Amino acid sequence: MAELIDPFNRKIEYLRVSVTDKCNYRCGYCMPPQGAHPEGRHTEYLDYDEIARIVAAFADLGVKKVRLTGGEPLVRKGLPELVALLRQHKGLETLALSTNAHYLDRYAQPLAEAGLDRVNVSLDSLRPERFTAITRGGDLHRVLRGIEAAQQAGLNPVKINMVVMKGTNDDEIEAMVDFAQTQGVEVRFIETMPIGSAGISVMDQHYPADKILARVQAHVGDKLIPLVTRSHDGPARNYRIAGSQTRIGVISAVSQHFCETCNRVRLTARGVLALCLGQEESVNLRDPLRGGISDDALKELIVEAIKKKPERHHFNENVHNIEFRQMVSLGG
């Protein structure tokens, strides 16, 4: 079986699949206030059978992990049906979901029954009014109910993603560590990234990963233990708090890029294979798919696409005029 090896000898084992660029929240680092595509061109989205066919091709080529993203994936109808389709591919070791959890209390159990393994939840504040301000209208209590529902459905461990922003929520780093320990979740602290106009607009709030980690270290003392994780687990530097099962991760995409170990690509809701968050390289898979391409030819197209994956990102360079270069459209 062919494997996906990029020009820099990195094995591609992780595919992030955006199912929509619509979202019911408007987090400032991710989406402009008016939405990603206010004119509403959602009819261009891949349908679930098309997504499943592309994922099957990637699985045959050695991809082990698929994460469903958005926008907010749970605003698209019938997501458990897609999960059930993808779960048929035996080569996948992990099928995960990234969500704002607003609707997760309704869908956690159906998703688990369909074959979802776990969820990541975006949670940038534990203070209701601040959370509403950051998300431009979000409901913290609904998110917390969604987290609880996911745990009850067995989608464990639930991972919390907190984008740390200087002057906005950086005073909650320690509180989020405590929340992780008391609620039995994992937490990952993420630097702001200059993706699209929304991401660039908040870079003055950038809070570097080393400072985040120093704050965590000071809070828990010598209990912070580094962990070695599998290659397709993602870009976080992970730690465990001794005496507990709590894991803490830090993602430093800007201050200390992790490009040398990048093993992932992204499929947008409109069928564009994006090869890097911070570069232009991409390949349209939707049009060949709808043009009748065979499964073997689709795999060949993917193999050739991976040969275009760049060595590293260069944030802020030549990304402003790329149609899908908003974080909400790239799926994070």
Residue 243 has pLDDT above 80, yes or no: yes
pTM exceeding the 0.85 threshold for the entire prediction: yes
The pLDDT of residue 41 is 56
Which helix H or strand E contains 66, and what residues bound it?
Answer: strand 65-69
Q: How confident is the model at residue 36 (pLDDT cuts 50, 70, 90)?
A: low
pLDDT exceeds cutoff 60 at 317: no
Provide the angle, in degrees to the nearest 10, between the axes of the packed helices 48-60 and 79-86. Answer: 30
Pairing of strands 247-251, 237-241: antiparallel
Identify the pLDDT of residue 199. Answer: 45
User: Lowest-confidence range among 90-99, 169-178, 185-194?
Assistant: 185-194
Domain map (residue ranges) of the chain: 14-330
Please choose, from the candidates 110, 179, 119, 113, the residue with its C-alpha nearest in 3D space to the C-alpha of residue 147: 119
Task: Judge whether residue 249 has pLDDT over 90.
Answer: yes
> Would the pLDDT of 22 be above 80?
yes
* Amino acid at site 73: P
pLDDT the model gives residue 32: 72
Q: Which residues contact 249 (CB under 8 A, 6 or more apart)?
A: 159, 186, 187, 188, 189, 236, 237, 238, 239
Average pLDDT over residues 94-121: 98
CATH number given to 14-330: 3.20.20.70
Question: Mean of the pLDDT values across residues 225-244?
Answer: 80
Encode pLDDT of 208-230 as tens digits. Answer: 899 999 999 999 999 999 998 65
Q: Say what the pLDDT of residue 326 is.
A: 56
C-alpha–C-alpha distance, residues 103 and 73, integer Å:
10
pLDDT bucket at 7, cuts 50 / 70 / 90:
very high
Mean per-residue pLDDT, 135-163:
97
313 vs 118, more confident: 118
pLDDT on residue 318: 41
Return the pLDDT at 235: 72
pLDDT-above-70 percentage for the chain = 83
**CA–CA separation, 84 vs 93, rounded Å?**
14
Q: What's the rounded mean pLDDT across residues 270-286?
A: 88
pLDDT at 116 over 90: yes
pLDDT band at residue 323 using 50, 70 and 90 as cut-offs: very low
pLDDT 10s digits, 251-265: 886 555 567 788 999
Q: Which of 175, 166, 167 lies closest to 207 in space, CA to CA?
A: 166
Is pLDDT larger for residue 321 or for residue 113? 113
Going 255 to 256 to 259 to 263, the CA torsion angle's sign is negative
User: Is the model's pLDDT at 331 over the cut of 70?
Assistant: no
Closest of 1, 2, 8 to residue 281, by C-alpha:
8
Instruction: Give tens-digit pLDDT for 156-166.
Output: 999 999 999 99
Q: How many C-beta atoms surround the C-beta of residue 260 within 10 A?
A: 9
CB contact set of 180 (below 8 Å; sequence gap of 6+):
160, 186, 187, 246, 247, 248
Residue 96 bridge partners (DSSP): 67, 118
Band (pLDDT 50/70/90 cuts) for residue 29 is confident
Dig out the tokens for 54 from the structure.
């592309």
Numbers of helices and strands, H then E, in the chain: 11, 12
